[in-house]
Amino acid sequence: MIDITQFPESDANWSEDHWKQFIDFLVESGLATYGQICSAALGQLNPPQVGTGTTNIVKHNYPHRKVWQNVKAWFYERTGKCEDCGTRLDLQTDHVIPREEIGTEADKLENFTLRCRRCNVIRRPSHKQGGVLHLTTAAALMWILLTRQPQTYQEFKRMCRAYGMTMADIRFQEAWALAIWLNREGKYEIE
Ligand SMILES: [Zn+2]
């Protein structure tokens, strides 16, 4: 079994080789198969559903029946990467200038860009701490649980706070479910 306890303390310092070995760890631990991991990545690689989502948002600024044509032309012009971090995974459309500032004028295609979910969250004023985190919250919760293996919920919560998470406790309580499920199968130690 791969000893991930020897890996760098912070995920920000993990090399590509550490992440590669971590995939092997997830498979060896029986948490997911290689096929399932690839399926998750492929699902996130699939471009966002602008045909319904964005088309609906911008429709009042374009001639009826020409909306999708305009959205599609805009969409194909993009690089297909997150404007901020460059990933191709988990992309969403996002206003450049928010609607709160310029109203319905914001809903024109030239005011849209593609960002990944994580970078989108960081930009929201309600998530001022977002930029501190290297992973998305969901990914970081699982990273802490699986690499640190805290044996009590309180310890897990403390680790999440130390990592820089500022959201409500309920997110930690939800994530702790995996520890309980794995514990029931003898794959995770709880005090
Ligand atoms: Zn990004």
**Residue predicted with more confidence, 153 or 94:** 153
Cα–Cα distances in Å, from 35 out to 40, 81, 139? 9, 24, 19
Write down the pTM of the prediction: 0.84
126 pLDDT more than 90: no
118 pLDDT more than 50: yes
Ion ligand 1: residue ranges with CB closer than 5 A? 82, 84-85, 116, 119
Q: 160: CA distance to ligand 1 center in Å?
A: 22
Q: What was the pLDDT predicted at 130?
A: 45
98 and 90 Cβ atoms separated by less than 8 Å: no
Q: 124: CA distance to ligand 1 center in Å?
A: 13
Q: 116: CA distance to ligand 1 center in Å?
A: 4
- Read off the tokens for 74: 């805009």
Q: What was the pLDDT predicted at 89?
A: 95
Can you give the residue ranges of every domain in the chain?
47-127, 129-184
Q: 25: CA distance to ligand 1 center in Å?
A: 26
Q: 114: CA distance to ligand 1 center in Å?
A: 9
When pLDDT is averaged across residues 160-167 and rounded to a whole number, the result is: 92
Q: What was the pLDDT predicted at 80?
A: 97
